[in-house]
Every structure is written in structure tokens, then in C-alpha cells.
Structure 1
């Protein structure tokens, strides 16, 4: 390996470590002060970097939130939802993706709840984080509703558009948190309730 390539690798590793420290500091700050607007100065201080470094790495506060949204999905096992949604029977795909989503939401519930609640404080800043999470969810529910209809599993009184809206509500963090936090259910019991909601609202009668 040439000296130049080695130096480039060292710099890349250092950049990744800096990015990770900033995101971890942001996550800790959101947990510690969920009702406060996020301070870039404080995040930088907690991460042990200059304030300007945060902007060099992420571009803006909105860019920082967007990166956090993607990082949360990656760290909490979002791939499990993707894998579940690809199951050959659409009903199994709905059931297993709801169970996987409950695990994802529960893993970072405090941070997720803070991000959602910050919409009223800093909508422009958190918009990127919302879009990272919700864009994929919206597309996924449309596809799932279409699959239920295509496979003959959708209730005849429910249109694909209506099924999409129902799945949108059932798969939301807000619905999950109403049961998980509001009702004090475990992640497993919350998932079971959500699966029951989907089955009763969407499944075609058997026989």
C-alpha cells in the first residue's frame, strides 16, 4: 500500500468516527432534553468537535436531522421490515412487517418521540428526518395494499386506496406509541394488537 492510499484510508476512518460521535451526541441530547430545540453548539461540545465541523460534515441542522433519521433506521434493524414485506403471502408480509416495525420503534422510542414532537418547534430542521422515514413507509403501504387486493386477500368492501390509508395509520409511530407508552404494553403485545387491527379491518372473509 502506498503512503498516499494509507493516508486516505486513515482520513476516511477518522471522518466516519467524527460523524458517528456527532450523531451519538445528537441522540443523547435529544434524550436528555426532549422539549428543547436542538443546539448545534451543544451537540458539537458533547461530541468533542468544533461547531463548524458539524456543518462541514452535515451541511446544516436539517442535514443533521436527515442523517439521524437514516442512522436510526439502519441501527434499529429496518432491514427486517423490508425482508418481512417481501414474504410471498401478503397477509404474512403485513403481519411480520408490523412485528418488525414494533421492534424498530421500541429500540429508539425516546429519540423517535422527540423527533416527532419537535415538528412544532423546528419543522424545517426535522423535515429531512421525517422524509427519510415516511417516504418509504408511504410507498410500502401502497404496495402492500395492492398486493392484498391482487392476491385476493383484501376485504371486498375495502378499496386499495382505503387499505393504504388504514395501513398508514396502523404502521405509524404515533399509533405504536399510543399502545406502547399510552397503554403500557410491551413491544410484542403492541405488535399483536396492530396485527389484529390489520386483520379485522382488511382481511377478506375466509370460506
Structure 2
């Protein structure tokens, strides 16, 4: 049996293969993972620890309103929000990722859907009381960063909260993926009617000595 290709080297290759379509590589990578051709470091059953330790999470069963997880992958973060009581939608640009999430969570209360931050369904705009974005914006080339950030902001309902969890960097670089966010890029989530509640720097969570930011914003 052929040894699976390493995820990072395959991601590096695919992410730069078609500069005209900076998000197309996700489907190619997920499809390769489904076929067993690449390793899958994102394969986890537990929610991201930076989300799970967020003080803003309600007690189980007491979550109120609608939540959405951006770039949901295999759905561990979305399943957490559903257990907490939110009516939860989770989307990914990759149909293969969404199919894998549905297969992993049969009978789930989460609505899994294919969706694109660059072309959101109109009924998702300003529709969610809690928006969770973990590592999606940083996974796409900076050439579309402003548009992706605007797409995340657009999901937040009046009075709603956005939680953005991203690897952070002091100096922007072009040698991704991933392309960690600078503090200025993290602060950009808090525009167009959103304002920062708390931006935390979490050393050591980013791997390889990198840090991570957990940023909370609210729409007035």
C-alpha cells in the first residue's frame, strides 16, 4: 500500500496551483484525504481547545439562538455548540468535507451545508447570534483576506457575537499555507458595525512556538 502523502506538502502544492481560484484547493485536499492519499491532521473528535476554554460559552443546554461554524471541517466544533443548545449551522467550501462531517455525525442536530464566504446565501447574512471562525481565514491566501473577513462579519446578527480564533504573526509573510494574521488583520473583524470585546494572545497554542489569538467581537 502506498504511504499517504504528508498533508503540509500537499497543501503547499495545491494552495499555489491556481492563483485565480484561491479556495479551490480545499476540495482537492479533502477529496484526497477521503481517498486515503494524504494524512489528516485535522481529524479530531474534540472541539478546538481554544473554543472549548472560551469563557463566553454557556452551560450545556442553555445556549440560546442560532450559531454558525465557518469552515467546519469534520464538525467537532459545531457538535459542541449544538450540545450547548444552539440551533447550529456548519458550512465548508469543500463538498467532500461536508460529506465527511455528515457521515461522522449521523443523526446530528447540526445543519451541515456547502457554503462559500465569498458568495454567502442571502438568508445567512446577519442571521446568526454566534459566529465561530477557527483557522479558516488564515488558510487562504492574503489576496482575498479582506473579502473573507467581510464574509465572516456579514454572518453576525444584530446583537450577535463573533469569535475568531487564528494563528497570529508579527510580520505578514507570503509563504503559506497557513498565512497567520497580524494584529491589524485580526482587528479588521471588528468593522462594519462590530466592535472588539476582548482580544487575547495565547502563547504556545499555534504550534512550532507560534501563538494564537482568540478575539471576541459584538455587533451593536
Is the TM value for this pair above 0.5? no
Higher relative contact order (CA 8 A, sep 6+): 1
Give the number of the structure whose alpha-carbon radius of gyration is greater: 1
- Structure having the higher helix fraction is 1
TM superposition score normalised by structure 1: 0.31
TM superposition score normalised by structure 2: 0.30
- Structure having the higher strand fraction is 2
